[in-house]
Structure 1
């Protein structure tokens, strides 16, 4: 029974309500002030919303009722926005320093992106993941930069051989010079721009299948965070 309790949760098997509760529970472990931030945002913005609605012309009783409803709605919206932002920050904090944290962060990418986890690795758990999307091919490395550079150079050459017509980018996750911090990884990839059309992305994926067929699949190490963040993307974005 103890082993089952320690197993990572899979958000894709949860109901929407359970996802929100689990996101709140895990976020509060990293951010103990989360509850107070949510309550404070509800009260402050709820009061502002109530005051704005009270300025509307009409019957006093009707205006008061509408102002109360409007204040609750505005307060709840503010609460969810604060929850979303702080939960996302907490999620990245849990992932930082963990093997495979970069791969799990990449699951936050929207439609139009394909993430292949651990296309190359070292014995020291340095990993290279591949992302295919509007910028073309992006090789994302996480681990020791000095060990990653030759590994990523090798992967770049392999990908250029099968997809010479498409751009290949390299990104290393980290806090060093020229590296991209984990919380900014998804935004960094999205800002790379559109260099490949949707139809070309489909053709590109087809070319890469031959390369992938030669690789053994390597499972990511399990940790205290969910094995996939896809089921929680809506919660973290405030939807």
Structure 2
């Protein structure tokens, strides 16, 4: 059973790597030469150093391991950049980038949106509350202002930063969004990040469970009380 599971799993991983390479090569035709150059170059340099120092086997093995590691890292970064390049301009692209941020952030996609698919996503981390907007700039600016007012009312003295994804002046390109967030200065302690998320979640649940009528109230009617 274990052998069969391993055999079934490996073709899936190899297929994913092959698909990632094929997709990246369309956008970045030199990806094969670059990754091979990094791997072979690292191995060759350490092997030469090994012969000079009298330890070619040890440094040759080390060079092989570091060469493979370097090639994998470079391939991953260039593949990610190629994927972001293909997503650029599509609705939900910023949310896809945000969801790839693994550590230190809690991501809530689409906290506000329009029918034209303009959207604001929320990321909470050590820098504070970051509102990431994508879509038409003219529609996004009033949406961001309203969302910032809401955050300030709900959370108080926590930095609320807004980002518009795009290539215009003062905007952050999609391919640089991940790095832009991870390089932002950390202004609040990690414990406070948890508190902020808990409060935002609780406030969101209260709003979604509030007994708000679907139409206008008739004269003299009262709002129903919550249970």
Q: TM-score, normalised by structure 2?
A: 0.78
Determine if contact 1:30/1:90 at 8 Å carries over to the other structure: yes
Based on CA coordinates, which of the two structures has the bigger radius of gyration? 2
Counterpart residue number, 1:38: 35
Contiguous gaps of at least 5 residues in structure 2: 1-10, 210-227
Following TM superposition, the consecutive aligned residue runs of length 4 or more in structure 1 with deviations greater than 6 angstroms are none
Q: In 1, Cα distance between the equivalents of 2:204 and 2:67?
A: 49
User: Is 1:97 paired with 2:89?
Assistant: yes
Looking at structure 2, the residues matched to 81 and 207 of structure 1 have their Cα atoms a distance apart, in angstroms, of 38
Partner deviation per Cα, 1:23-60 (whole Å, 9 max, x = no partner) = 33332332232112222222222221211111122xxx
Displacement of 1:195 in angstroms is: 1.8
The counterpart of 1:120, out of the listed 88, 99, 112, is 112
Residue 126 (structure 2) pairs with residue 134 (structure 1): yes
Map Cα deviations across residues 135-162 of structure 1 (whole Å, 9 max, x no partner).
1111110111111001111111111111
State the partner residue of 2:78.
Answer: 86
SS of the equivalent of 1:152 reads helix
Check whether the contact 2:154–2:200 (CA below 8 A) recurs between aligned residues.
yes
- When residues 28 and 212 of structure 1 are mapped into structure 2, their CA distance, relative to the original with a 3 A threshold, is farther
Structure 1 segments unaligned to the other structure (5+ residues): 1-13, 58-62, 217-239
Give the total of aligned pairs: 198
Tell me the SS of whatever aligns to 2:90.
Answer: coil
Give the TM-score, by structure 1 length. 0.74
Which stretch of structure 1 is more off in the superposition, 82-91 or 168-177? 82-91
Say whether 1:183 aligns with 2:175.
yes
Deviations 1:177-216 (CA, angstroms, capped at 9, x unpaired): 1111112212222232122212211211122124433369
- How far the C-alpha of 1:88 sits from its partner, in A, is 2.2
Of the three residues 160, 165, 171, the one matched with 1:173 is 165
SS of the equivalent of 1:132 reads strand
Specify the SS of the correspondent of 1:75. helix
SS at match of 2:121: strand
Which shows bigger deviation, 138-147 or 196-205? 196-205
Higher mean displacement: 157-166 or 115-124: 157-166
> Are the counterparts in 2 of residues 119 and 215 from structure 1 also a CA contact under 8 Å?
no
Pair 1:51 & 2:48 matched? yes
Q: RMSD of the TM alignment (CA)?
A: 2.3
In 1, the alpha carbon distance for the partners of 2:25 and 2:65 equals 24
Query: Aligned in 2, Cα 1:18/1:160: closer, same or farther, shift over 3 Å?
Result: farther
